[in-house]
Amino acid sequence: MLVSFTDSYFELLYTGGKVPGKPRFPPEVIKQYRLRIDQIKNSTSTQELSKFRSLRFEKLEPKNAPDPVYSIRVNDQYRLEFYLDHNGKIEIVQVIRMSDHYAK
């Protein structure tokens, strides 16, 4: 699958570039984030991702939206949220954000 980023912050976080300002995430979360992006890139489809139960791949609300948001687990606390697009047979994951699943 291909990966794109809606926010340059997450692209810099993945590539190891210097991110502006104070880090939003702890170093161990950033490391897991990079592993998840690599895991997405090495997968052939979202069906393959869904086979990894530990990722908890799911479609978030609203389920009937024209552009639904999907997510996978980065660790126990953070989730990676993204859109899915199809370019022929290739799925494109467009990273939106990484959210604290338990934040209020």
Residue 12 pLDDT exceeds 70: yes
- Higher-confidence position of 21 and 63: 21
In percent, how much of the chain has pLDDT > 70? 95
- How far apart, in whole angstroms, are the C-alpha atoms of residue 72 and residue 99? 11
CA 11/CA 15 separation, integer angstroms: 6
pLDDT band at 89 (very low <50, low <70, confident <90, very high): confident
Over 60: is that where the pLDDT of 45 sits?
A: yes
Q: In which band, very low, low, confident or very high, does the pLDDT at 17 lie, cut at 50, 70 and 90?
A: confident
Higher confidence at residue 6 or residue 21? 6
- Contacts of residues 41-44 at CB distance under 8 Å and 24 or more positions apart, as own/partner, are 41/1, 41/2, 41/3, 43/1, 44/1
Angle of CA points 46, 65, 54, to nearest 5°: 30
Domain 2-100 part of CATH 3.20.20.70? no
Domain ranges across the chain: 2-100
Which pLDDT belongs to residue 65? 73
Residues 6+ apart with CB under 8 A from 49: 39, 40, 43, 55, 57, 72
Average pLDDT, the chain: 89
Q: Which residues contact 25 (CB under 8 A, 6 or more apart)?
A: 13, 33, 78, 98
The answer to whether the CB of 70 falls within 8 A of the CB of 59 is: yes
Taking residues 37-65, report their average pLDDT: 88
